[in-house]
């Protein structure tokens, strides 16, 4: 069976890093018999420039037909002053909504070779392996009414019981196959929507007696991620809080350029992307780190394409190039400095070598 993969490079460094992940997928095809067909489409600022729409209908059609989507990055100063609905970020929000990609998995895994690159002391982050599960299609980013007036503005942060149950069950299921600990993060001492969130998650706990459930306010969770991050296993939270907490967790690993993510719907189809942004100031300069995108491709193999063994091959290849001392600029520190394409080549070569 051949898998249908849609590539959405996007803006800034997006084309640079997606090209390297595509290279690694081709290496799997050459050496491990991975069968796939890839198509490329526009999203974000590139789509606005070409079609006047950050998510053209042609891209949506291809996305709905694909088994999985590999996405790069969107946005940049070029589009910051245009009409809000035409800005690149609206394209990403819309595709998440169109495909009902409600579950955003953001692992924060520290590779031992990068312990010195973390902003925290090595003893605090050594062996770090946590997963932040962010609800992605509800909350304040999608709430209505919303309005910006001359002297004030407001947004609405809605969640239904069904939306909370859906993401919480995914959290319990993920915790069940990891460390069996789930921390639900909210602001129930201030927000009514968080009261509903906490009540709903608590009501589900009886269905998962093997998982230890705890609750934490988001401000404390942010502090604890910096103070003692290894206390966590899986954190489940809403859209806004998850956006912030996952970026905090990113810096614990040494570089945001190392973190992949998956956004899944109820059927397990999904969009895979690095956590970092489009970094237009370094686009095309050959210094972007492609490893988060390559690791996102590994998540794609595991979660949407049913190719867990091949995902292991890719992840091991990344570990090997880091162990060999190869470093892009963002994780430099005594290792061998390499370019974006050189890092992609190195991972692809390790993938091919694994077949021998």
Alpha helices in 228-290 (DSSP H): 239-252
Active site residues: 141, 187, 219, 243, 247
- Are the folds of 1-107+256-356 and 129-252 the same? yes
Res 188: pLDDT: 98
Average pLDDT of each block of 10 consecutive residues along the chain (356 residues)? Answer: 96 98 98 97 97 97 97 95 92 93 93 78 86 95 92 97 97 96 98 98 98 98 95 97 90 81 93 93 96 97 95 96 93 85 98 94
Res 330: pLDDT: 86
Residue 280 to residue 261: CA distance in whole angstroms: 20
Fold of 1-107+256-356: Isopropylmalate Dehydrogenase (3.40.718)
Residue 109 to residue 127: CA distance in whole angstroms: 8
Residue 102 to residue 105: CA distance in whole angstroms: 10
pTM attached to this predicted model: 0.89
145: cis peptide before it, omega within 30°?
yes
Q: Where are the domains of the chain?
A: 1-107+256-356, 129-252
Res 335: pLDDT: 81
Residue 293 to residue 299: CA distance in whole angstroms: 10
Residue 27 to residue 29: CA distance in whole angstroms: 5
CB atoms within 10 A of CB 37: 11
- Collapsing DSSP to helix, strand or coil, 280 comes out as helix
Res 251: pLDDT: 79
Res 258: pLDDT: 86
Encode 207-236: b = buried (16+ Cβ within 10 Å), e = exposed.
ebeebebebbbbeebbebbeeebeebbbbb
Q: For the domain bounded by 129-252, which CATH number is listed?
A: 3.40.718.10
Residue 345 to residue 85: CA distance in whole angstroms: 38
- Collapsing DSSP to helix, strand or coil, 289 comes out as coil
Beta bridge partners of 271: 69, 263
Res 134: pLDDT: 97
């Amino acid at each position: 069976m051949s898998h249908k993969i849609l590539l959405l490079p996007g803006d800034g460094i997006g084309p640079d890093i997606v090209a390297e992940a595509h290279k690694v997928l081709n290496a799997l095809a050459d050496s491990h018999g991975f069968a796939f067909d890839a198509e490329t489409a526009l999203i974000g600022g590139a789509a606005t420039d070409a079609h006047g729409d950050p998510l053209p209908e042609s891209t949506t059609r291809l996305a709905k037909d694909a088994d999985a989507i590999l996405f790069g990055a969107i946005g940049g100063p070029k589009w910051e002053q245009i009409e809000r609905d035409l800005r690149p970020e609206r394209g990403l929000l819309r595709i998440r909504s169109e495909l009902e990609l409600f579950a955003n998995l953001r692992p924060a895994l520290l590779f031992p070779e990068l312990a010195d690159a973390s902003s925290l002391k090595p003893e605090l982050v050594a062996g770090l392996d946590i997963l932040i599960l962010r609800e992605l299609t509800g909350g304040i980013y999608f709430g209505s009414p919303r309005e910006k007036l001359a002297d004030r503005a407001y947004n609405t942060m809605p969640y239904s019981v069904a939306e909370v149950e859906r993401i919480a069950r995914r959290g319990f299921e993920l915790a069940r196959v990891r460390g069996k600990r789930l921390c639900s993060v909210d602001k129930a001492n201030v927000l009514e929507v968080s009261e509903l969130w906490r009540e709903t998650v608590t009501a589900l706990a009886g269905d998962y007696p093997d998982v230890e459930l705890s609750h934490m306010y988001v401000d404390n969770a942010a502090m604890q991620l910096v103070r003692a991050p290894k206390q966590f296993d899986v954190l489940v939270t809403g859209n806004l809080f998850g956006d912030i907490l996952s970026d905090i967790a990113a810096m614990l690993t040494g570089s945001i350029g190392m973190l992949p993510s998956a956004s899944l719907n109820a059927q397990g189809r999904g969009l895979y992307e690095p956590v970092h942004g489009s970094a237009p100031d370094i686009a095309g300069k050959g210094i972007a780190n492609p490893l988060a995108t390559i690791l996102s491709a590994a998540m794609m193999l595991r979660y949407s394409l049913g190719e867990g063994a091949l995902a292991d091959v890719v992840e091991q290849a990344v570990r090997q190039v880091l162990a060999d001392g190869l470093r892009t600029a963002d994780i430099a520190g005594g290792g061998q400095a390499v370019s974006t394409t050189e890092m992609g080549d190195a991972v692809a070569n390790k993938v091919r070598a694994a077949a021998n």
